[in-house]
């Protein structure tokens, strides 16, 4: 899954695609096409920055960022378009414009989101987050991070099924960096099999994240090799979808890792 942030402030690619608040459609489409040529089989479009400390964005602003982008991508590319949002109104507009996957870092807990996603009938990714982006990295606390995250996700899966979302349309994600210390993030990745063993597909997003920066003491633009190492680990543990900025490098790592996994 290739990442396309249509935001002024995302930690890695923020501001790349907005000029005077409006999305630069041709640059966005070009970038998506490049990611697809490098091996992306899904493009995740987001209009709300959820990096630590980020302020929330209003619905109309989020719509102005993502709807024209999704309309243009829908005409230009053949791979599924994912909408990264927590707002029911944005989910509906995005799916109407051509998105066919909902990626929600708040696991459909916002007002109306669960019912909306169920009605739209598209697959959803439920991510775990402790707290809200503005404050989530302030002393995150768990009894047992792996079991706490797993219980939360399984509870949301039950809620989704009760709301009419079939199990076959649900992906789960531990939410690396979303209200987790470095040690907690590493525990979650080391024990990713706890999530994989649920039988649900697991999505992993570690690309360029601060957990890598903290280990290497490197800024965002120097985290590719660390990102590849963690993508490889996620792949070995059975992750189904890897959400990344650097598609070509990750695609090679995944291909080689899969060949290794299939060896006798
Ligand atoms: C994740 C994500 C982000 C993630 C899923 C970033 C939107 C921060 N991270 N969605 N979104 N999983 N499912 O690093 O880990 O791009 S935003």
CATH number, domain with residue 150 = 3.20.20.20
Please count the CA atoms within 13 angstroms of the CA of 243 that sit on its side-chain side: 27
Q: Considering its fold, how many domains does the chain have in total?
A: 1
Q: Give the number of the atom of ligand 1 that is nearest the alpha carbon of residue 205.
A: 15
Nearest CA residue ID for atom 11, ligand 1: 105
Q: Taking a C-beta distance cutoff of 8 angstroms, is the pair 244, 2 a contact?
A: yes
Phi (first) and psi of residue 103, to 5 degrees: -110, 105
Local confidence pLDDT in tens for the 264 residues of the chain: 999 999 987 777 777 898 888 899 999 999 999 999 999 999 999 999 888 888 889 999 999 999 999 999 999 999 999 999 999 999 999 999 999 999 999 999 999 999 999 999 999 999 999 999 988 988 899 999 999 999 999 999 999 999 999 999 999 999 999 999 999 999 999 999 999 999 999 999 999 999 999 999 999 999 999 999 999 999 999 999 999 999 999 999 999 999 999 999
Q: Which atom of ligand 1 is nearest to the CA of 49?
A: 17
Which residue's CA is minimally distant from atom 17 of ligand 1? 50
Residue 220 is part of which domain span? 2-261
Residue nearest to atom 8 of ligand 1 (CA): 51
Distance 206 CA to ligand 1 centre (A): 8
For residue 257, which of 232, 226, 229, 221 has the smallest C-alpha distance? 232
User: Where is 226: in which H helix or E strand?
Assistant: helix 224-236
Q: Please state whether beta strands 22-23 and 18-19 pair in parallel, antiparallel, or not at all (unpaired).
A: antiparallel
Which token pair is 94? Answer: 């995005």
Question: For residue 115, what are the β-bridge partners?
Answer: none
Ligand 1 site, residue 46, Cβ cutoff 6 A = yes
Burial pattern 190-200, b for ≥16 Cβ within 10 A else e, equals ebbebbbeeeb
Instruction: Say if ligand 1 is within 6 A of residue 104 CB.
Output: no
The Cα–Cα gap between 67 and 91 comes to: 10
Q: Return all residues near 127 (Cβ < 8 A) that are at least 6 apart.
A: 103, 104, 105, 106, 107, 172, 173, 174, 175, 178, 203
Task: Identify the residue whose tokens are 């709300």.
Answer: 48
Q: Which atom of ligand 1 is nearest to the CA of 207?
A: 14
């Amino acid at each position: 899954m290739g990442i396309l942030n249509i935001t002024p402030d995302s930690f890695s690619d923020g501001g790349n695609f907005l000029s005077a608040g409006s999305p630069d459609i041709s640059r966005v489409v070009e970038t998506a096409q490049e990611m697809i040529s490098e091996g992306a089989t899904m493009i995740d479009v987001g209009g709300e920055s959820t990096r630590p400390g980020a302020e929330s964005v209003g619905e109309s602003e989020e719509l102005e960022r993502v709807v024209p982008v999704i309309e243009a991508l829908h005409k230009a590319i053949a791979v599924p378009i994912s909408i990264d949002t927590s707002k029911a109104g944005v989910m509906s507009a995005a799916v109407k414009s051509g998105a066919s996957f909902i990626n929600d870092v708040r696991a459909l807990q916002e007002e109306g989101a669960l019912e909306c996603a169920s009605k739209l009938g598209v697959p959803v990714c439920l991510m775990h987050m402790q707290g809200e982006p503005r404050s989530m990295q302030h002393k995150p606390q768990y009894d047992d991070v792996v079991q706490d995250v797993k219980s939360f996700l399984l509870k949301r899966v039950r809620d989704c099924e009760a709301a009419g979302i079939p199990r076959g349309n649900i992906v789960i994600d531990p939410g690396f960096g979303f209200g987790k210390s470095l040690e907690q993030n590493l525990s979650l990745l080391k024990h990713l099999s706890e999530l994989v063993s649920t039988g649900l597909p697991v999505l992993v997003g570690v690309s360029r994240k601060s957990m890598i920066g903290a280990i290497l003491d490197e800024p965002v633009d120097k985290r590719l090799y660390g990102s590849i190492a963690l993508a490889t680990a996620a792949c070995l543990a059975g992750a189904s979808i890897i959400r990344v900025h650097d598609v070509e490098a990750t695609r090679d790592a995944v291909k080689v890792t899969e060949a290794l996994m299939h060896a006798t």
